[in-house]
Amino acid sequence: MSPLRLGIAGLGTVGAGVVALLAANGAVVAARAGRPINVTAVSARDPGRDRGVDLSGMAWCDDPRDLAARDDVDVVLELIGGDAGVALKLVEAAIAAGKHVVTANKALLAHHGTAIAQAADKAGVHVGYEASVAGGIPIIKALREGLAANRVSRLYGILNGTSNYILTEMREKGSAFADVLADAQELGYAEADPTLDVGGGDAAHKLAILASLAFGRPVDFGSVHVEGISTITPDDIGFAREFGYHIKLLGIAQAGPGGIEQRVHPCMVPLSGPIAHVDGVFNAVVVEGDQVGPTTYVGRGAGAGPTASAVVADVVDIARGERLPLFNVPAASLADIPSAPIEGRYGAYYIRLMVVDRPGVIADVSAILRDEKISVESLLQRGRDPGETVPVVLTTHETEERAMQAALTRMARLEAVAEPPQVIRIEDL
């Protein structure tokens, strides 16, 4: 059978990783694909840069969009990144030219996934995107294929390895966020500008994609509630352990009476649950289906090898003749299911207040919680230092998010409260 010919746009960590993988495992991949897979053309910013891989025999395109027009390219691999610009133009051009597409670009799909799905359906081409979420974990394939007979009620997971690494190091070493972040940047686990990772944006992109696929609706990135981890302190991590929890940055999507909740934020998760023990740069995703119950997927969420593995897995599917709608159903059949705001969340909470140690503070806080009909499960005040700032920590029974936010607003106005209250949602996972 004739080879499947690839055009790769972007030769960074992932693109070079794909070239290296095919060079190392080409025979294995070809046997499983049923035909050889060859890279015939590439495009990147700097043609003279040494990327540690052999590019001989591959045509060079200064403009990535030229890959879409080449007769010797069957599949375009968009490994550039970015939520618009040349990445979007390349994908649009490839689909318009009737070429299949494989992308690792979660931002692109989070912002333009529905439109791309519509264009792919019209052109009759396949769009693979396993590498866009959770690196080497085959979560897209699991949702597209393995769990196709299930109604998904909820999915959640650790979707950003950088944040998970930072929280793990803070817990194990007792270090502050800023110190661990600096170490992570030095080790290459965090970007020079880490905002997308530690601010929750990267996880939000991935969650929006997973929610669309799991619930069969258009991508709605704008409705994802997003919080990051920069306010988490070693004290919070210590108190969490004392209460029987670890802190994880989770993406959670679940179906409820008001629609689909989509939220990314730090969570306290029970030590008895498996996701509490997924540490370091590892990712984990749990999917709850009506027929199979919870299924858990754990693995490396980034890096050349895991991500290239996911990209090539999509290429193998195309070589075998797979042609699936982007979000498992034709774009025209995506259901008009609303997004539910986080204000409707019902659950327990952890609150840490830094207060001036003087009489009446606890009474004032208790009065606010009483007024908002929030019941306290536990309360800790460690140490006495009259006139100075001390932590007051409490956990609540289940209550509505809107009531908690109202209470926090009132607490922040108390004269004795020295800084904005810290709140972390407790998830029974």
**Rounded to 5 degrees, what angle do the CA atoms 291, 215, 254 make?**
80
Is the separation of the CB atoms in 131 and 314 below 8 Å? Answer: yes
CA distance 27 to 37: 9
SS (H, E, C) 146-182: HCCCCCEEEEEEECCHHHHHHHHHHHHHCCCHHHHHH
The catalytically annotated residue of 89, 99, 141, 206 is: 206
Question: Count of CB atoms within 10 A of residue 191's CB?
Answer: 14
Torsion over CA: 31, 34, 39, 44 (sign): negative
Q: Can 106 be counted among the known catalytic residues?
A: no
Is the separation of the CB atoms in 150 and 290 below 8 Å? Answer: yes
- Residue 59: enclosing H or E segment and its boundaries? strand 59-60
Cβ-count burial of 360 within 10 angstroms (0-12 exposed, 13-18 middle, 19+ buried)?
exposed
Torsion angle, alpha carbons of 216, 209, 76, 47, to 10: 170
Is the separation of the CB atoms in 427 and 263 below 8 Å? Answer: no
**Which residues contact residue 293 at a Cβ distance below 8 angstroms, ignoring those fewer than 6 apart?**
none
Is the separation of the CB atoms in 107 and 81 below 8 Å? Answer: yes
Beta strands in 159-305 (DSSP E): 225-226, 245-256, 259-270, 282-289, 293-300
Please name which of 310, 257, 306 lies closest in space to residue 281, comparing C-alpha atoms: 306
Please name which of 210, 203, 32, 201 lies closest in space to residue 138, comparing C-alpha atoms: 210
CA distance 220 to 428: 25
Using the 8-state DSSP alphabet, how is residue 240 labeled? H
Cβ-count burial of 31 within 10 angstroms (0-12 exposed, 13-18 middle, 19+ buried)?
exposed
Residues with a catalytic annotation lie at 206
